[in-house]
């Protein structure tokens, strides 16, 4: 079975400070992992993905994430937050072995203070 | 630009009055998804099509149906909307074909902007 846990429902940072959004997963198979961002009343946009290649993945808008199998984690980071980063972020596990499964985390709301 | 389009962006219907939401794509992806997203929650998968094969999630109510007449279009039909069906409905696509070994590759999903459904 697959599951995703986003450890923080809300994260608040000041503009220019680092961002850390935490995600832990479990999977019976080798998963692919994704981070999506959703701005209010918009669809989801892919930030980055891990699909069994390099464990450090760089995405758009300065975000990156590191796949750590030993810790079953895929935390999202950004060195310096911008006001435009304020949004909802979803960590997603995808498995295509033994079925067709996509599991969303509950989401983390990122607030960025001026 | 290749994209996923949802119409309308906002839909108002009356309690019990059937409503259809539409999704079209120019990406030529073989997989299409419908998600329901309520306020401050993660998207919840209702069903997906792999090519023409329909796959219903076990907990999707019978009130929700879907049609996919061709690769480009997919419709969500809500036969008798209740107040609890008010939500954002997201359509997504994914290219998913087996590799030479028969395994399916994990690809990202491409989301439309969503249709916000209000039930009066």
Q: In this complex, do B90 and A44 lie within 8 Å of one another by their Cβ atoms?
A: yes
Sign of CA dihedral A95, B54, B91, B109: positive
Confidence class of residue A31 from pLDDT cuts 50, 70 and 90? confident
Average pLDDT of A87-106?
87
Residues of B with CB under 8 A from a CB of A: 4, 6, 33, 40-45, 48, 50, 55, 88, 90, 92, 96, 103-114, 116
Q: Is the pLDDT of residue A99 over 90?
A: no
- Residue spans of chain B under pLDDT 70: 1-2
Q: Is A42 on the interface with B (CB under 8 A)?
A: yes
Q: What is the pLDDT of residue A98?
A: 66
Note the pLDDT of residue B16. Answer: 96
* Residue in A46, A100, A105 closest to B42 by CB: A105
Q: How many CB pairs under 8 A join A and B?
A: 57
Look at residue B2 in the predicted model and tell me its pLDDT. Answer: 65
Yes or no, beta carbons of A31 and B106 under 8 Å apart:
yes
Specify the pLDDT at position B38: 94
> Which residue from A32, A43, A97 is facing B114, i.e. has the nearest CB?
A43
pLDDT at residue number B1: 66
Q: Residues 49-108, chain A: which have Cβ within 8 Å of B?
A: 49, 51, 90, 94-97, 100, 102, 104-107
């Amino acid at each position: 079975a697959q599951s995703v846990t986003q450890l923080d429902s809300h994260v608040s940072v000041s503009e220019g400070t680092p961002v850390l959004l935490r995600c832990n997963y479990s999977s019976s198979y080798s998963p692919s992992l994704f981070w999506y961002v959703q701005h209010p009343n918009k669809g989801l946009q892919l930030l980055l993905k891990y699909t069994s290649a390099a464990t450090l993945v760089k995405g758009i808008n300065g975000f990156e994430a590191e796949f750590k199998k030993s810790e079953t984690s895929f935390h999202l980071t950004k060195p310096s937050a911008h006001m435009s980063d304020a949004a909802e972020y979803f960590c997603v596990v995808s498995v295509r072995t033994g079925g067709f499964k996509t599991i969303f985390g509950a989401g983390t709301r990122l607030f960025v203070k001026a | 630009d290749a994209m996923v389009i949802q119409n309308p962006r906002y839909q108002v219907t009356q309690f019990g009055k059937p409503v259809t939401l539409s999704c079209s794509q120019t990406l030529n992806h073989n997989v299409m998804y419908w998600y329901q997203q309520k306020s401050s929650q993660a998207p919840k998968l209702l069903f997906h099509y792999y090519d023409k094969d329909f796959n219903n999630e076990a907990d999707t109510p019978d009130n929700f149906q879907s049609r996919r007449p061709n690769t480009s279009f997919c419709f969500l039909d809500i036969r008798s909307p209740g107040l609890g069906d008010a939500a954002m409905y997201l359509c997504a696509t994914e290219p998913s074909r087996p590799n030479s070994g028969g395994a399916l590759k994990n690809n990202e999903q491409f989301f439309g902007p969503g249709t916000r459904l209000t039930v009066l």
